[in-house]
Amino acid sequence: MFFREEDAISGKMAKAFATVNGRVEELFYAKSLEAMLEKNKADVPTLGRTNVGKKSSGWNGTGTLNVYYVSTVFRNLMLTYVKTGRDFNFDLQVINEDPTSSTGRQTVVLKGCNLDSLIAAKFDSTSDDMMDEELSFTFSDYDILDQFNALTGV
C-alpha cells in the first residue's frame, strides 16, 4: 500500500479566521500558522524500577502566526491592554482543504488565544522583502469541527 501523492495537503489552500470581540476577520494576509499542544508530565518514581515513570498532568497550547505587516487589528487590541490593563482573548479557526486531495477538510478552532508579543511599529528600507511579523500566542482550548477522511492508499 502506498500514499497517493495527490492526497498530500497544500498549505497554500488553507483559510484562517480570527474571532475578535464577536467580529470575524478573515486572515487572508496570513503567511503561516503553527499551533502546538504540549503535555505536562510529572515524575512518578516507583520501587523496583531504575527508570522514573511519567504521568500526564496537564497541557499547554502555544503557537505562532506569521502575517504580512498590513493590519492594525492586533495592535489595537494590544493598545487597549496597554492603556487600560484590560486583556483580550480571541479564537483562531484554521481550515485545511485541498480540492485535489481525497482527504477532505479539517477545521480546527484554537480557543482563548492570547498574544505574547507583537511589533508596535516597523520599517526596513534596506530590504526588498515584503514586511511581515510573527505573533506568538498561547491558547487554552481547542476543538476539531471537521476531520480529515481516512485514506486508503493504493
Look at residue 72 in the predicted model and tell me its pLDDT: 93
Neighbours of 151 (CB within 10 A): 14
Neighbours of 62 (CB within 10 A): 14
* Strand ranges for the chain from DSSP E: 15-20, 23-26, 30-45, 52-68, 90-97, 105-117, 132-139, 141-146
Positions in the chain short of pLDDT 70: none
Look at residue 1 in the predicted model and tell me its pLDDT: 82
Answer for the pair 115, 74: CB distance below 8 angstroms, yes or no. Answer: yes
Answer for the pair 37, 61: CB distance below 8 angstroms, yes or no. Answer: yes
Look at residue 111 in the predicted model and tell me its pLDDT: 98
Look at residue 154 in the predicted model and tell me its pLDDT: 74
Give the CATH architecture of domain 5-39+55-146: Roll (2.30)
Look at residue 76 in the predicted model and tell me its pLDDT: 95
